[in-house]
Structure 1
Amino acid sequence: MSDTEKNKVAPDEAIPAAEIPADVKRDRISGVFSTQSVDKIGTGTTVRKTILKTYWFAEEGPTDPEKGRTILVQPLNKNNIPSGPKDEVPLGDFLEKFSPELEFYQKEVFPKLKELDATLKRAEEQREQGALYSAQFEYESALNVDEENVRANFGLGLTYMERGDTTKANDIFQRVVSLDAAFAPDHKHLFNEFGINLRKSRLLDQAVDYYARALELVENDENLHYNVARAYYEKGEMALCREHLAKALEMNPNFEEAQQFLAYLDKQAEEQ
């Protein structure tokens, strides 16, 4: 299915999910939709009503066994780019309140998304090639379009760290830890790289805060506990280092790296 075909409601929307046979294939909801609200302007005899239209990028999430089908909606920013936090809307409420905007998606949103993705790809290629100033320019261009873009924020932060500019890297860190989306599974590669580079850049307090924020949002991840243990080790806080290694091994008793790290700490303690 093409990108422009995604912006439509599947024909079986009126049928409860539980009544759809398992072998029936259906499109998942994805694309740009709008909602309308009425705003009153003025007072008394001068009052008048204005209809306000808000555009959203909507994408169907995984079907929840209890909630059924739900739709994740994200507002479009002033540049017509999906940006900011996503809200989960039950399918029934979504069908009642949201209207498809196929033409707006095709003419306004899709070209902007395509251009943004091309900018980010150029930035990532240039960073990989060591062209750090060119990468910075491209990442900043992406952030001018979407200041909450996770790939751009991570990439710019990594670029600053690779240049040794810890002051600017710390500024990006402050922005990243405020973005819940930065810790989502689809950004895991960049998320891991960013945390490791914070530690390697000797931004140890930031690394600890970063992993603490991640642990608030990501449950049962032994790798997070292992990574924060390494940051605490380099800060010289051995008790906290051991605490997080113990949590990592509690989640995964066969976690070889954590076992080796703990054995190393034990050997160090014996030699002192």
Structure 2
Amino acid sequence: MSGHMDYEINKELGECYLFMGELDKAEEYYKKAVGSNGIHPDPYLGLATVAVQRGDLNDALAMYEKAHKIEPTDKSLSGIALIRMENGEKENAFSMFIEAIKMNPENMVALFSLIRLGHELERVADIIPPLRDYLEIDPGKHEVRYSLAGCYVCLEQKAEAREHLEKILEMDPDFDAAKEMLETLQP
């Protein structure tokens, strides 16, 4: 029993120090958490975050992969994908973000990374389904709807773009970016 309690406390302390930006302390407690009970992915995800904040992407990748071996989650997938994206492995990152979204449609890191990669890789059509799925869960997330409208504009599907922009402005008349995009679509 005590092993699990130690694990929980160390993990909590790790998260607390990470939140306060004290990376050395965070690392120390995450490592203790790994030592007290090495079958959870969370401390490795924590150590990965510490490494990312230090700019040590190789170490971060190793930690994400350890977490992923213990238990594949959308967090470990999108973590690995982020680093691959930074390293220029864009196609590979794209498919990992899609996998992460399948596990958790509300993973915003994966969603916004997909939007960015979709435009860079000219795979805009492939990012429409995940954006639409997200909006079914959270229809009021205007940034996502605005991105979806942008995708439709890229694909010359102006009626669909207009429909989504009008929906945003119904809910939020002050969303200026949506107003501007709508004006460019006027015949």
* Shorter-chain TM-score above 0.5: yes
Q: Distance in 1 between matches of 2:157 and 2:53?
A: 34
Q: TM-score, normalised by structure 1?
A: 0.49
- Name the larger-Rg structure: 1
Q: Distance in 2 between matches of 1:262 and 1:219?
A: 19
The equivalent of 2:112 in structure 1 is: 193
Letter of the 1:136 partner, please give it: L
The equivalent of 1:136 in structure 2 is: 61
Letter of the 2:162 partner, please give it: R
Number of equivalent positions: 160
Letter of the 2:166 partner, please give it: A
Distance 1:232 1:131, change over 3 A: farther
Q: Secondary structure at the match of 1:177?
A: helix
Deviations 1:162-195 (A, max 9, x none): 3332332233133212223x51xxx54x255324
Q: Distance in 2 between matches of 1:161 and 1:201?
A: 11
Q: How does 1:1-272 map to 2 (within 5 A)?
A: 103=2, 105-106=4-5, 114-115=33-34, 116-127=41-52, 131-148=56-73, 150-180=74-104, 182-183=105-106, 188=108, 190-191=109-110, 193-202=112-121, 203-266=123-186, 269=187
In structure 1, runs of 5+ residues without a counterpart are 1-101
Q: Distance in 2 between matches of 1:256 and 1:140?
A: 41
Q: Is the 8 A contact 2:101 2:111 kept in 1?
A: no
Residue identity (%): 24
Q: Distance in 2 between matches of 1:243 and 1:146?
A: 40
Distance 1:130 1:111, change over 3 A: closer
Q: Distance in 2 between matches of 1:130 and 1:231?
A: 32
> What is the CA distance between 1:122 and its match in structure 2?
4.1
In structure 2, runs of 5+ residues without a counterpart are 12-29, 35-40
Q: TM-score, normalised by structure 2?
A: 0.67
The structure in which a higher percent of residues are helix is: 2
> What is the CA distance between 1:231 and its match in structure 2?
1.9
Q: Secondary structure at the match of 2:102?
A: coil
The structure in which a higher percent of residues are strand is: 1
Letter of the 1:215 partner, please give it: L
Q: Is the 8 A contact 2:98 2:110 kept in 1?
A: no
